[in-house]
């Protein structure tokens, strides 16, 4: 609904066609924030305030426990560094789609925490933050302390 706020004709919608979920999230955040920052897509950050927009999903299949499907699902926030392995310079504004409960959860991860959340052995373009979600208690692991509301992640 935020992206459609100023749409008055089909022609107004054409620029949105074909955009990925991540690109739509980048464009929605400044609108949700009430104009506190703009989308700039610079090196190391996406927004004029220095923050970076990211999207992820909880994977559809659970991890196996003793050979049987368990209650723990994984996910990954990808590309948290550039191709040289330099981490994003701005805080991450993350939207995680969880298909198991049919909702999007939001996380605000400070830039200084990105290296400790990423695998130590990982170098180069494939820097990522793995996380988990437990179906039994509807909770996240590794990124749970960063969970916020839509208004807070956009703020």
pLDDT in tens, 5-18: 565 665 666 666 66
The pLDDT tens digits of the residues spanning 58-92 come to 999 888 777 777 889 999 999 998 777 788 889 99
Task: Over range 5-32, report the average pLDDT.
Answer: 74
Count how many Cα atoms sit within 13 Å of the Cα of residue 83 in the half-sphere of its side chain.
1
Of 143, 130, 131, 125, which Cα lies nearest the Cα of 85? 125
Torsions phi, psi for 43 (to 5 deg): -70, 110
For 20, left (φ over 0), alpha (ψ -120 to 50), or beta? Answer: beta
Give Cα separations from 4 to 20, 28, 144 (angstroms). Answer: 16, 10, 31
Residue 1 — pLDDT band, cuts 50, 70, 90?
A: very low
How far apart CA 94 and CA 146 sit, in angstroms, is: 10
Separation in Å, CA 107 to CA 3, 11, 58, 77, 145? 20, 33, 13, 11, 9
Which structure tokens are listed for 97? 């789609």
Q: Which residue has the higher pLDDT, 42 or 7?
A: 42
- The pTM (predicted TM-score) of the whole model is 0.85
Where does the pLDDT of residue 24 fall: very low under 50, low under 70, confident under 90, or very high at 90 and above?
confident
Q: In this predicted structure, what is the pLDDT of residue 110?
A: 98
**94-145 per-position pLDDT tens digit:** 999 999 999 999 999 999 999 999 886 655 557 899 999 999 999 999 999 9
Task: Check: CB of residue 26 under 8 Å from CB of residue 40.
Answer: no
Residues 102, 144: contact at Cβ < 8 Å? no
């Amino acid at each position: 609904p935020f992206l459609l706020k100023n749409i008055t004709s089909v022609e107004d919608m054409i620029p949105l066609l074909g955009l990925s979920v991540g690109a739509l999230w980048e464009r929605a955040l400044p609108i949700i924030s009430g104009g506190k920052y703009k989308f700039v897509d610079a090196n190391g950050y996406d927004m004029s305030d220095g923050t970076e927009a990211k999207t992820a999903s909880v994977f559809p299949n659970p991890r196996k426990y003793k050979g049987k499907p368990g209650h723990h699902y994984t996910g990954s926030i990808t590309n948290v560094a550039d191709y040289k392995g330099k981490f994003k310079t701005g805080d991450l504004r993350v939207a995680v789609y969880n298909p198991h409960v049919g909702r999007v959860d939001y996380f605000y991860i400070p830039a200084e925490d990105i290296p400790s959340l990423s695998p130590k052995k990982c170098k180069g373009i494939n820097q990522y933050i793995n996380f988990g979600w437990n179906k039994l208690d509807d909770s996240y692991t590794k990124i749970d302390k960063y969970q916020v509301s839509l208004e807070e992640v956009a703020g």
